[in-house]
Copies of this chain bind each other. A is one copy, B any other.
Amino acid sequence: MSVTIKDIAKSAGVSYSTVSKALRDSPLVKKPTKDLIMAVANELGYQPNIAARSLVSKKSFTIGVVWPTIEQTVLSKLITTINKELEELSYTTLISINEVKSALKIFSRYQVDAILVFDSSQSIVSSYSDVPIVMHGLANKQTPYPVIDVNRQKATYQAAQYLYKMGHRYISYIGDVEGDKLQKEKVKGFEQAILELELPTYSFQKIRVNNFEQYDGYEAAKQLLTLAKRPTAILTGSYDLARGALQAIYESNLSIPNDISIISYDNFPALEHFDIPLSTVGVPLDKISEKTIEILMKVINDEEVETKIFMEPELKITNSCTKIS
């Protein structure tokens, strides 16, 4: 059997309610008593039983994260960041990779304080019990819980517009053109730019990739670079695709940005270790994470919170883009 507060009480010669208070650092316990109890607890290797604690206090200081698609590494960075920040707020993060419905059930049974759902499949989430839910995904529907969404369309739109303003007229988009709604939004933004700029559609190009690995970006870019009229600028749908594209460009002995400009969707701080820092557009990872924590804390404390939270992308231009005449 593991050691309980009763064991500590016996060992320290106090009542077990005093132990409980001491361990919670209550001001109702005298310093010496507290110290003694702490010492004994330490020595015995005491670990509080969360089950018992949350049973009475109705608080578990735990956030459940529903992440059915661990294969998607993009999220791993965000989840790691969120995990770290929650830890600093003395919250524990537990992750389930089950499908949304069953993961929700698990977490509600565990009486976590809140559930954070990552789900691009946009399935309707009906809440079990009364555990508050926060979701990452598309905020297009009316939901009973807050959804944090990133304005992907605006991001690619912004990037395309910027490239246009810099004089580019042959711009290619590399991304998952036939993908899920999240991906389609990015394509939409690109297309919107075409429309508004009233440019001939042939001057824009979409290259389809099947997934988001570096290699796909490499292949797509290679294909582009052999065109008779090769693009003067490339916009990629993800960081990994950009990495592949960069490689293809270097291999073709083209230089960035003189021969070709490049901007990538995604915005997290891993993007620095290139010869030329990559221009990016998207919501910075730390801002998403910060907002997520903020919303989580709000729902936990029963504060009012909007159900649709759109985050604005930021365009970060570096030397990977240049003006052409």
Among B55, B70, B218, point to the contact of A80 (Cβ < 8 A): B70
Place the interface of chain A in its size category. 35 or more
- Is A307 interfacial (CB 8 A cutoff)? no
Q: A50-B51, A213-B214 are in contact. Are A128 and B45 (CB under 8 A)?
A: yes
- Determine, out of A30-38, A92-100, A151-159, the stretch whose residues face the partner at the interface: A92-100
Copies of the chain in the assembly: 2
Q: Is the CB of A45 within 8 A of B129?
A: yes
Q: Is the CB of B218 within 8 A of A111?
A: no
Q: Is the CB of A94 within 8 A of B92?
A: no
Q: A129-B2, A213-B214, A244-B215 are in contact. Are A96 and B97 (CB under 8 A)?
A: no
Nearest Cβ distance between residue A300 and chain B, in whole angstroms? Answer: 16
A96 to chain B: closest residue by CB: B94
Nearest Cβ distance between residue A126 and chain B, in whole angstroms? Answer: 10
Nearest Cβ distance between residue A50 and chain B, in whole angstroms? Answer: 5
Q: Is the CB of B98 within 8 A of A96?
A: no
- Determine, out of A71-79, A134-142, A165-173, A289-297, the stretch whose residues face the partner at the interface: A71-79
Q: A87-B98, A214-B215 are in contact. Are A111 and B50 (CB under 8 A)?
A: yes
- Is A279 interfacial (CB 8 A cutoff)? no
- Is A109 interfacial (CB 8 A cutoff)? yes
Would you list which residues of chain A between 69 and 128 have a CB under 8 Å from chain B? 70-71, 73, 76, 79-80, 83, 87, 92-98, 102, 105-106, 108-111, 128
Interface residues of A (CB under 8 A from B): 1-3, 45, 47-52, 54-55, 60, 70-71, 73, 76, 79-80, 83, 87, 92-98, 102, 105-106, 108-111, 128-130, 213-215, 218, 243-244, 247
Known pairs A49-B109, A95-B95 / 4 extra A-B pairs, C-beta < 8 Å: A47-B128, A71-B80, A87-B98, A214-B214
5 closest A-B pairs (Cβ-Cβ)?
A: A51-B51, A95-B95, A2-B129, A70-B76, A50-B109
Ordered by A's residue number, 10 sampled pairs between the chains whose C-beta atoms are within 8 Å are A3-B129, A48-B109, A51-B52, A51-B111, A55-B55, A79-B97, A83-B97, A83-B98, A87-B102, A215-B244
